A and B are shown apart, each in its own frame.
Chain A
């Protein structure tokens, strides 16, 4: 598998339910980030978790990171129709220059059914 692969590729749930998406990666990282993309639109930064962190919360979002398994999960609680979008994980390494490239996963297409 490639660096940054999300599963499932697609997820449909009823409004109000929780949505969980997973991301696996292959190399060591400094940070892992989750982004949202509404259809045909830009990427919106949701949350960043550093390699020395295990869990982070932001509103209805909860992100976990397991560096031993090279995996992360994104949980969206009490989903809303407006959460319908594609969700991507992205990993990065910090080089001597500062910040280097992000490597994006393939994304999970989340559909919230009203």
Chain B
């Protein structure tokens, strides 16, 4: 069964450093997403991406965040200058095959980001 792959599984970074979280969505899916889950809290929407541009973003997704699909297979989330409160599990997801029928999301296994 197709999977969404995320790397690394765990990243520790110094406050103020830039991090790039990487994802390989399911190859023929059309929509891509990033969500995050702060420990013990709800899963929160960050951004959705379609046709090589952002289709929606949350208020969490400020100027410190950016997404890219640089080569047609990878989908990256960059945090320019990390803060302690960025520590969370970050999930990538994709949805909707070319048939256009929506069956729900396929999530990756997540990257645990720890900012120290």
Interface residues of A (CB under 8 A from B): 31, 33, 35, 40-45, 48, 88, 90, 94-95, 97-107
Q: Count the B residues whose beta carbon is within 8 Å of the partner chain — how many? A: 28
**Known contacts A41-B109, A45-B105; 18 further A-B pairs (Cβ under 8 A):** A42-B91, A42-B109, A42-B110, A43-B91, A44-B107, A45-B106, A94-B102, A97-B48, A97-B50, A98-B55, A99-B48, A99-B95, A99-B96, A100-B48, A100-B55, A101-B56, A104-B43, A104-B44
Chain B at the A interface: mostly helix, strand, loop or mixed? strand
The 8 Å CB contact of A97, one of B55, B58, B108, is: B55
Interface residues of B (CB under 8 A from A): 30-31, 33, 35, 42-45, 48, 50, 55-56, 58, 89, 91, 93, 95-96, 102-110, 112
Please name all residues of chain A whose beta carbon is closer than 8 Å to the beta carbon of B104 when the two chains form the complex.
31, 33, 45, 48
